[in-house]
Structure 1
Amino acid sequence: MKGSASILYAYRMLFPRTGKKSNARRSLTGAFLCIAISLVPLVMILTVSNGMIKGMTSRMIGLSSSHLSVILHPDIEESQSPQNLVKLSEKMNEIDGVTKVFPEIQSIGLAAGKKIRTGAAIRAVENDIFSKNTAFSSLFEIVESVSGIKKASDIRLEEGKNAVIGKKIAESLELHAGDEFRLITTRILPSNKIVPKITKFRISAIVSSGYQELDALWVFIPLNTGFSILPLRSSQTMIGIETEDAFSIELDKISSKIENLAPAFTRVYRWDEINASQYENFSSTQIMLLFIMLLIVLVASVNISSALVMLVMERKKEIAILKSLGASPSGITFSFLITGMSTGFMGILAGIPAGLLCAVNFDLILGWIENILTFVKKAAFLVTGHDISEVSRLHILDPAFYLQNIPLSIPLGQITIIACGTLVLSLLASAIPAIKAGQEKPIESLKKI
C-alpha cells in the first residue's frame, strides 16, 4: 500500500463522502475540540506570564538595581561628598561597555503626613535622573504633579526640599502633589548620641511604575540634600551602571573592569545577583503553571486514542477488504496515525490562535470576570441582608503584587515547542490503536459480515 493511498484513506476517514452517522467521527471531533480548548489557557498563560515576568524584570533592572550596582564603603573618600561620588561615577562612565552611570544614596526613614506616618525607602538621586535614565522616563507614569510636569521626563529635582514620591506611599499618607510632608531620619552627635532629624519636603510629583511591590515606599530627593540629611554610615552609597544589554555575556567582563577601577572595599553586583530570589520565584511559578496546563493537554490527547479505537471498530469491514486487495499492515497503521495526528494538528490550528486572541485581550477578559464576581458578591450581600456599599471591587490579580498593565510578549519559540509537543502527544496517543488496526485479520472480519 503506497503512502499516497494511506493518506487518501486517512482523508476519507476524516471527511467521508457519505452522510452516514458515525460515533467514531463524533469522538474525533470531540478530541479535536478538547485539544483546542486545552491549548487556549496554556498559550494564554504562557503569553501573559511571559509578559508579566518581562515587565517586572525590566522594572527591577531599570528602576532599582541597574545592570550593575557598585556599592561603596561608607568610610572612603568617595562616599563623603556628592562631588567625590559624581567624580568617581564619571570615571566609571569612561569604561568600555558602560553607557550611563547613576550615583545614588539609599536609606530608610519615616515619612509623616498630616495625620499618618509610614516607613519610607529614601533614594537621593541626581536632579535630572528622570530624564537621564531611560527606564525612569519610560516606565514611570505621572499620577499627580504640580503645574508644568506632564510626563516623567519633565521631572527635575530642584535643589532644596522638594521630592517625588510613589503612588502607594502618597495614598497611605493621604498626600497630593504640592503638599508638604516630613522625613524623619537620624544623625549622630559628636558625643555619638543618635538623635532624630526632621526635614520638610514639598511634593513636586507622585509617580507609579505599575508594579506596586517595587515602588510602594520610594521617596526621591536631590543627591545634595541626601548627603546633608541622611546618616551616611547607615545608608548605602552606590553607583548604578547601565550597559548596552543587561543579559549580555559581557556583563562579567565589565564588572571586572569596574572592580579594577573602584576604590578599596568596593563591591560590584550584577542585577541577577541582587534580585536572585525574586527572579527565581518568577521562573518557578511560570514552570509550575505550564506543567499543570501541559497535563491538561496530555489528558486531552488521550481522547484521540479512544476515538481511534472506536474508528477501528467501525472500519473493520473496510480494513478487511483493503487487506484482501493487497493493502499492507504498515499502510493501514500509517493511515490511522495520520488520522490521529491530523486531529491534533487541527486542534493546534484552532487552539493556538484562540489562546493568542485571549492573551491580547487579557485585561478586558480579566475585567469582565472581576465585574461578574463583584456582582455575585453584591448579590450575596443583598440576599443576606448586608449593606452592599461595603462591598469593594474584587481583584483576581492583586495590584500590590502584579503589574497593573501587563505588556504583551508573544514567545514564538515556546509556542512552536508547544505545537510540536502536542503533535508528538497526538502521535503517541494514536500509536496503539493504529498498530492494532494494522494487525486486524481480514478473514475473521469478513466471516462476521
Structure 2
Amino acid sequence: MTFPYELFIGLRYTRAKRRNHFISFISMTSMLGIALGVAALIVVLSVMNGFQSELRTRILGVASHIQITGNGNALPDWKSVVNFVKGSPQVQAAAPYIMAQGMLSLDQAVQGAMIRGILPAEEDKVADLGSHMKVGKLTDLKSGEFGIVLGAELAQSLGAGLGDKVVVMAPEGQFTPTGIIPRLKQFRVVGIFQVGMYEYDASLALIHMDDAAKLYRMGDKVSGVRLKLEDLYQAPRIGHELSTQLAAYGSYFVSDWTEQHANFFRAVQMEKRVMFVILTLIVAVAAFNIVSTLVMAVTDKRADIAILRTLGASPSSIMKIFIVQGSLIGVIGTLMGAVGGVTLALNIDVVVPFIEHVFGVQFLAKDVYYISDVPSQLQWADVITITSVSLVLSLLATLYPSWRAAKTNPAEALRYE
C-alpha cells in the first residue's frame, strides 16, 4: 500500500528535529493549548448539563409534567378530565389538587404560603415529594384529621416541628354583623419535606384535598389536575394535543413544566451557550498559534521547498505537505483534550472531593446552593461537536501558511544556498 508523498514528507517534517527549537516549542504550546481548551469545554459543558439535570429533577420533585386547569379558579368536572387523559397512552398518572393562598401562624411567627390540597396516594404518582420527606410521610395526610406537611424553610421560619399545631388562615373571610372574619383552622404538622428549591421549601404547604375543600369551600371542585408522562421531554407536544382535544368539551388551560419554569431553563441554557463561545475562543487562540508555527516552518524550509519544486512538485503538493504538518498538531491536541476531558467529566465526583480535601475548600456550600456535590452529565453529542470545531479551526489555521509555502519562488529560495 502506497501513501501520497505529501503525507510522507509532512509527517517527516513533524517528527524531524529542527535546527530552530523555538518552532518545536511553539508547536508543543499550540498542541497543549488545544488539548486544554477541548478538555475544559468538555468538562464545563458536562457540569452545566449536570446542573440542568439536577435542577430539572428538583423542580419535577414538586411540579408536574402537565397541569390542566379550568377557565376560572376551579375545575368542576375534574373526574371526567382524569378519565379522559388516562385514555392517552403517554399519560402515566393523573392527580387532582386544590391550590390556594394562606397565612400560617405559630405562636408569634406568621408566614404566607401556598396551600396545596392533595390526595397523597395519587400525588405520589405524579411527583417525587414522597422521596424528599425529611420527617414523616406523605401518607400521614388523612382526610378529616387536618394534618399539614411543610417545606423545610417554611417550617424553620415558623419554628414548627413534628406534632406542632399551626393555624391556617384563608384569605376568604366570613361575613358577620361585626365585619369580615377570616376563616381559621388549626392543623397538626405531620411531616416536613425538602426538595432543595427555595421557591418550594419556603412557601409550600401540603394538606389533604378533602380538608382543603372544607377550608376554602370548594365543594366537589378542584383547582386542576396534574399529569405525569412516560417521556417528560414530550410534554410540550402532548400538552398541545390535549389542549386541542379538551377544547371540544369546554374551556380548559393546559400548561407543561417547560412553561411553568421557563426562566430557570432558559438561564441555564444561555449560560451553557455563553460558556461554549468563551471556551471555544481559547481553542481558537491555541489553534491559530499553528499559523505562527507553520509560518516559521515555511521560512525554515524554504530551501527544501525550492528543491521539491525543481523536482516537479506542484504548488498544491507543497500546500498539502504543510497542511498535513499543521493538521497533525491539531489532531493530536484535540485527541489529548478529548480523552482528558471525557476522563475528568466521568470522574468529577472523585476529583472535586479530592481537591476540596487537599486544599481545605468547599466549592458548593450545601446551606447556600442545596447541592453539596458538583454534578456532571457527559453528553457524547457535546464531545463530537467540540472535537469537530477544534479540528475545523486547526485545519483553517493551516491554510494561509501552506498557501505561502506554495507561492515560494525556487530561484529566489536557492539564490544564496
Q: Is the 8 A contact 1:186 1:195 kept in 2?
A: no
* Helix, strand or coil at the partner of 1:409: coil
Give CA deviations for 1:8-49 in whole Å, capped at 9, x if unaligned. Answer: 122122222x58662212111100111111122211221111
Q: Is the 8 A contact 1:130 1:156 kept in 2?
A: no
Q: Which residue of 1 aligns with 2:49?
A: 50
Q: Is the 8 A contact 1:48 1:408 kept in 2?
A: yes
Q: Is the 8 A contact 1:32 1:347 kept in 2?
A: yes
Distance in 1 (CA, whole Å) between partners of 2:255 and 2:383 is 34
Q: Which residue of 1 aligns with 2:244?
A: 256
Aligned counterpart in structure 2 of residue 68 of structure 1, from 66, 69, 83: 66
- Equivalent residues in 2 for 1:305-344 (5 A)? 305-344=291-330
Give CA deviations for 1:239-293 in whole Å, capped at 9, x if unaligned. Answer: 11233323334442233223333xx443222333333333333322222222222
Distance in 2 (CA, whole Å) between partners of 1:170 and 1:364 is 34
C-alpha deviation, 1:162, in angstroms: 2.0
The one-letter code sitting in structure 2 at the alignment partner of 1:291 is V
* Helix, strand or coil at the partner of 2:233: coil
- Equivalent residues in 2 for 1:91-170 (5 A)? 91-95=84-88, 97-129=90-122, 131-133=124-126, 135-137=128-130, 140-143=131-134, 145-146=135-136, 155-159=139-143, 160-170=145-155
Q: Which residue of 1 aligns with 2:389?
A: 421
The one-letter code sitting in structure 2 at the alignment partner of 1:409 is Q
C-alpha deviation, 1:443, in angstroms: 2.5
Distance in 1 (CA, whole Å) between partners of 2:300 and 2:141 is 79
* Helix, strand or coil at the partner of 1:247: helix
The one-letter code sitting in structure 1 at the alignment partner of 2:329 is T
C-alpha deviation, 1:299, in angstroms: 1.7
Q: Which residue of 1 aligns with 2:225?
A: 239
- Equivalent residues in 2 for 1:7-26 (5 A)? 7-16=7-16, 18=17, 22-26=21-25
Q: Is the 8 A contact 1:212 1:403 kept in 2?
A: no
Aligned length: 411
Q: Is the 8 A contact 1:186 1:194 kept in 2?
A: no
Cα RMSD of the aligned pairs, angstroms, is 3.3
Aligned counterpart in structure 2 of residue 208 of structure 1, from 190, 194, 201: 194
C-alpha deviation, 1:439, in angstroms: 1.7
Q: Which residue of 2 aligns with 1:355?
A: 341
Deviates more, 1:187-196 or 1:323-332: 187-196
Distance in 2 (CA, whole Å) between partners of 1:306 and 1:213 is 53
* Change over 3 Å in CA distance of 1:182–1:191 after alignment to 2: closer
C-alpha deviation, 1:369, in angstroms: 6.9
- Equivalent residues in 2 for 1:256-405 (5 A)? 256-261=244-249, 264-362=250-348, 395=364, 399-400=368-369
* Change over 3 Å in CA distance of 1:117–1:75 after alignment to 2: closer
Distance in 2 (CA, whole Å) between partners of 1:95 and 1:227 is 28
* Change over 3 Å in CA distance of 1:136–1:309 after alignment to 2: same
Distance in 2 (CA, whole Å) between partners of 1:424 and 1:191 is 78
* Helix, strand or coil at the partner of 1:189: strand
Q: Is the 8 A contact 1:39 1:351 kept in 2?
A: yes
Q: Which residue of 2 aligns with 1:379?
A: none
Q: Is the 8 A contact 1:68 1:255 kept in 2?
A: no
Distance in 2 (CA, whole Å) between partners of 1:182 and 1:374 is 45
Give CA deviations for 1:299-347 in whole Å, capped at 9, x if unaligned. Answer: 2211111111122222223222322322222112112112222211212
Distance in 2 (CA, whole Å) between partners of 1:158 and 1:116 is 26
Q: Is the 8 A contact 2:18 2:24 kept in 1?
A: no
Q: Is the 8 A contact 1:51 1:409 kept in 2?
A: yes
Q: Is the 8 A contact 1:67 1:271 kept in 2?
A: yes
Q: Structure 1: give runs of 5+ residues left out of the alignment.
A: 376-392
Deviates more, 1:214-223 or 1:194-203: 194-203
Deviates more, 1:167-176 or 1:437-446: 167-176
Q: Is the 8 A contact 1:211 1:399 kept in 2?
A: no
Distance in 1 (CA, whole Å) between partners of 2:339 and 2:110 is 50
Q: Is the 8 A contact 1:23 1:310 kept in 2?
A: no
Scaled by the length of structure 2, the TM-score of the pair is: 0.85
Distance in 2 (CA, whole Å) between partners of 1:51 and 1:255 is 32
Q: Is the 8 A contact 2:149 2:207 kept in 1?
A: yes
Q: Which residue of 2 aligns with 1:434?
A: 402
Distance in 1 (CA, whole Å) between partners of 2:326 and 2:18 is 21
Q: Is the 8 A contact 1:52 1:403 kept in 2?
A: no
Q: Which residue of 1 aligns with 2:172?
A: 187
Give CA deviations for 1:107-126 in whole Å, capped at 9, x if unaligned. Answer: 22223345533322221111
C-alpha deviation, 1:55, in angstroms: 3.0
Deviates more, 1:279-288 or 1:31-40: 279-288
Q: Is the 8 A contact 1:24 1:314 kept in 2?
A: no
Distance in 2 (CA, whole Å) between partners of 1:398 and 1:426 is 44
* Change over 3 Å in CA distance of 1:48–1:418 after alignment to 2: same
Q: Is the 8 A contact 2:243 2:252 kept in 1?
A: no
Distance in 2 (CA, whole Å) between partners of 1:275 and 1:141 is 20
Distance in 1 (CA, whole Å) between partners of 2:312 and 2:193 is 77
C-alpha deviation, 1:350, in angstroms: 1.5
Distance in 1 (CA, whole Å) between partners of 2:228 and 2:9 is 62
The one-letter code sitting in structure 2 at the alignment partner of 1:35 is I
Q: Is the 8 A contact 1:10 1:339 kept in 2?
A: yes
* Helix, strand or coil at the partner of 1:63: coil
Distance in 1 (CA, whole Å) between partners of 2:380 and 2:154 is 39
Q: Structure 2: give runs of 5+ residues left out of the alignment.
A: none
The one-letter code sitting in structure 2 at the alignment partner of 1:188 is G
The one-letter code sitting in structure 1 at the alignment partner of 2:156 is E
* Helix, strand or coil at the partner of 1:334: helix
Distance in 2 (CA, whole Å) between partners of 1:306 and 1:252 is 55
The one-letter code sitting in structure 2 at the alignment partner of 1:110 is M
Distance in 1 (CA, whole Å) between partners of 2:322 and 2:59 is 52
* Change over 3 Å in CA distance of 1:310–1:229 after alignment to 2: same
